[in-house]
Amino acid sequence: MHFLITGGAGFIGSHLTENLVADGHSVTVVDDLSTGSLDNLTALADHPRLRFIQDSILNRELIRAQVSICDRVVHLAAAVGVHTILERPLASLKTNVEGTESVLSACAEFRRPILLASTSETYGKNDANSLCEDADSILGSSSIERWSYATSKKLDEFMGLAYHASHDLPVTITRFFNIAGPRQSARYGMVLPAFVRAALANQPIRVFGDGAQRRNFTYIDDCIGAVMRLLRGSNVTGKIFNIGSDEEVSIFELAERVKQAADSSSRIILVPYEEAYPEGGFEDMRRRVPCICRIEAHTGWRPTTNLEGIIRKTILFERSRQDRPVSVPVHALSM
């Protein structure tokens, strides 16, 4: 099978690309490298079943042409990271909304099934004990730019379901909850790699706010396992699936656990939100934990790597990355 993966040079996309190629599939990656990196595709450099195109999902003619020659689409490309959203709100909205509509329109035209990636951000400030896929979205004021990302991804979900209803397009939607592990960049505000890199350098570990906000983390291999099951699954179209873990941790406790696992002398410091995000427009939520009953019922999937394992594996990767910097020439993968 021939897959088109938008955002395939990103953290999740590159791992999925590797898994699909290893399974014998061909993959075309479209990525503008605004947040992805060719380094993430090092293991597949010059692989005959991988084709890389550096371009934007806003290029409708390109997307239409690539969808027409593939068998299935995985749409992962999006503007990501709090700082990205706060610094470039209009460009982020265009990428997340117009880009997704471009992909969905092409999939409908050529009858290509699509897995559409969304995010736990769509639940907003809903801090229920266990968020099921039908739980309410409680989003903040439109004057707070932080909520534009959640709103744009929720609109992506509405569009995906509308294309499914109106065009009978096979659409499956995933909501990712804090996926973490090797290759995740700290550059866009991702908390675990930021903590790990600070700890390994014995620099202060910066915890935003009071650190009492609670999250869960899912290892990248578990995430890819869930996506692969959905791609192979039946009776999954027209549905939304949480992909996450039920193991909660406060952000301050996460910092403590990273420091201990890294045998670090780092100090843990609390940083007020107004200092962390001087551009303003930020508001946090206190708790976010998913219910994963739906994906378990449909595919049998549950995560297998606990938080201790996620921290340990991330530390091992970051240490190896420091020892062996990698770089992939663009010409090796681009067409």
Please report which confidence band the pLDDT of residue 278 belongs to, taking 50, 70 and 90 as the band edges.
Answer: low
Q: What is the pLDDT of residue 284?
A: 82
The b-or-e profile of 135-145 (16+ CB within 10 A means b, else e) is eeeebbeeeeb
CA distance 236 to 230: 7
The b-or-e profile of 110-124 (16+ CB within 10 A means b, else e) is eebbbbbbbbbbbbb
By C-alpha distance, which of 19, 184, 156 is closest to 77?
A: 156
Per mean pLDDT, which range of 43-47, 87-91, 196-200 is the poorest?
Answer: 87-91
The pLDDT tens digits for 1-36 are: 999 999 999 999 999 999 999 999 999 999 999 889
The pLDDT tens digits for 62-75 are: 999 999 999 999 99
The pLDDT tens digits for 174-199 are: 999 999 999 987 765 689 999 999 99
Please report which confidence band the pLDDT of residue 281 belongs to, taking 50, 70 and 90 as the band edges.
Answer: low
Flag whether pLDDT at 330 surpasses 50.
no
Residues facing residue 72 across a β-bridge: 3
Q: What is the pLDDT of residue 81?
A: 67
Those residues with Cβ within 8 angstroms of residue 162's Cβ, 6 or more apart along the chain or in another chain: none
- Return the number of other C-beta atoms located less than 10 Å from residue 265's C-beta: 9
Q: What is the pLDDT of residue 326?
A: 45
149 is catalytic: yes
Q: What is the pLDDT of residue 277?
A: 73
Mean pLDDT score of the chain: 91
Flag whether pLDDT at 154 surpasses 50.
yes
Strands 214-216 and 248-250: antiparallel
End-to-end CA distance of the chain: 20
The pLDDT tens digits for 159-168 are: 999 999 999 9
Instruction: Give, in words, the CATH class of 2-180+218-245+287-300+328-332.
Output: alpha beta
**DSSP track, 234-295:** SS-TTEEEEE----EEEHHHHHHHHHHHTT--PPEEEE-HHHH-TT------SB--B--HHH
Catalytic residue, chosen from 149, 163, 219, 277, is 149
The b-or-e profile of 248-258 (16+ CB within 10 A means b, else e) is ebbbbebbbbb
Flag whether pLDDT at 332 surpasses 80.
no
The residue-averaged pLDDT of 54-83 equals 93
Considering the entire predicted model, what is its pTM?
Answer: 0.92
Q: What is the pLDDT of residue 35?
A: 87
